[in-house]
Amino acid sequence: MKKTDKNVNNESIQEEDNVDKLFDEAKDGRMEKILRKNKILSYLKTILISAAVAVVVLFAAYFAIDSLSFDYCQSKQIIEENRLSNYYRIGYPNRYIGEYSRYNGLFKGELECTTYKNLNGRILYAGTEKRVFGLFNFRSGVFGGGMIAQQIEDDSISTELKNRQSSVYGLRYMTFYYPYVEYKNCIDDMQLLSQISNDKIVEIGISFDKEYLLNDAKMLIPKDLATFYWVDDKSSNEKEGLKEQKWACGENDIHGIKLLDEWGEIVEKPEEDFIRALILLKDTENFYKDIYIKMAGSDGNLDESDIYIQGAVLVGSPDSIAQLKDKPFIKYATLGSVVDKY
């Protein structure tokens, strides 16, 4: 039996619907794939942008932190350099700072300097000084090499030259004796000068019989021999304690006026240089503030009239220094380093 036109139309419509449905399903599948792909690309783009931003932020943070760390280390190194410079302006007879070496880390660093003695143009290596500092570094402080600061008990003072203390670099330590202390062991190395060849350069530390005003002390010693004046920086109570303990003082513990600069040239108005350096140190360290107060006296203002000298360091040939032998103002004398003139 033949299909009616109505049935034929219905079948055609149904076939068209099925075709449309197939196309819609295919279209929906493609769209889903496209959407999924776009979604993945969007995620990747977001991730890449975030990563790029993170890298930029990290680099910016690194350079900012590195810049802050550099500024911190540089400022600390300048402070430590100035401090060390001032230490050597008021102490360490004949010893000077040579080259600096700087090492920086993250908000921490080291400052190291070589030191040397200058004895009439003969340069002798004297060790190193190291300053360690850090914002988060608990080892901050000062470390020295080759030299020892010390207070020396009377019983440990040896009159035998071979038993005296020296640095690891062969520099013999000078010992200084307070004029108000009576010692059982006393040293007068002036007696040894006749045994030393006159082609040598001799360093010798002398301790006076009493404290002299600076201008008076200058009259006692020829200018071409004196390189350092040992100043009195003790209070009355400290002097009483020293009398009981009978301590002498090692060369690295005394303070005084350096008469020569690091090139061996005469310093103009060296007492003013001493006062300036002490003022700078007293503003940063209580130890030197106390020294300034003790030396300045009742008016609190340190000037040349407040400076008393209780010893000196001499450098010269044995014959030139021997001219001072048996002078009444020299109570003790200890030999330092002896080197060839050439």
- Pairwise CA distance, residues 126 & 98, whole Å: 10
Q: What is the pLDDT of residue 276?
A: 96
Cα 30 versus chain centre, distance: 75
Note the pLDDT tens digit of each residue in 162-216.
Answer: 677 778 888 999 999 999 999 887 789 999 999 999 999 999 999 999 999 999 9
Confidence of residue 153 (pLDDT cuts 50, 70, 90): low
| Contacting residues for 297 by C-beta, under 8 A, at least 6 apart | 306
- Pairwise CA distance, residues 109 & 179, whole Å: 43
CB 228 within 8 A of CB 330: no
Q: What is the pLDDT of residue 31?
A: 63
- Pairwise CA distance, residues 213 & 304, whole Å: 9
- Taking each helix axis from N to C end, the angle separating 286-296 and 270-282, rounded to the nearest 10 degrees, works out to 130
pLDDT at position 152 over 80: no
- Of the listed ranges 22-26, 132-136, 188-192, the least confidently predicted one is 22-26
- Pairwise CA distance, residues 213 & 309, whole Å: 6
Note the pLDDT tens digit of each residue in 239-288.
Answer: 999 999 888 999 999 999 999 999 999 999 999 999 999 999 999 899 99
H or E element that contains 84: helix 5-89
DSSP-assigned letters across all residues of 113-142: EEEEEEETTEEEEEEEEEEEEESS-TT-EE
